[in-house]
Amino acid sequence: MKPARLRPAAERDLVEIAHWYADQGGAALADRFFEEARAALSTVERTPGIGSLRLGEIAGVPGLRSWALQNFPVRWFYLERPEFLDVLRLLGERQDIAAILGPGPH
């Protein structure tokens, strides 16, 4: 098991998306989103190689993996480091992921 370390941008994404769901459907929906996001990250911690490399390849970031939440159109984006998972972002599937995560300092 590798612990996940969320970068500040990933933490902001999580909070902002939860607030958006709260505005759209109330606190119960936001709570469901938050719990599912936490559960998805837990799955990745247990099995880091489970995430897809496809979107990382499209974005031009070698080794960048993504893992989708089950019932929300959102994905965790992370790099597997020797001791931990470096979680870059939590992004909606309709966002321009290649432009957001494209080559640059990650």
Q: What is the pLDDT of residues 64-76, one digit of tens each?
A: 999 999 999 999 9
Residue 48 in domain: yes
As for how many domains the chain has, the answer is 1
Q: What is the pLDDT of residues 35-85, one digit of tens each?
A: 999 999 999 999 999 999 999 998 889 999 999 999 999 999 999 999 999
For 85, phi and psi rounded to 5 degrees? -100, 125
CATH number for the domain that contains residue 23: 3.30.2310.20
Residue 106 in domain: no
Residue 85 in domain: yes
User: pTM of the full predicted structure?
Assistant: 0.92
- The range of the structural domain enclosing residue 28 comes to 4-101
SS3 content of the chain, % helix, strand, coil (to 5): 50, 25, 30
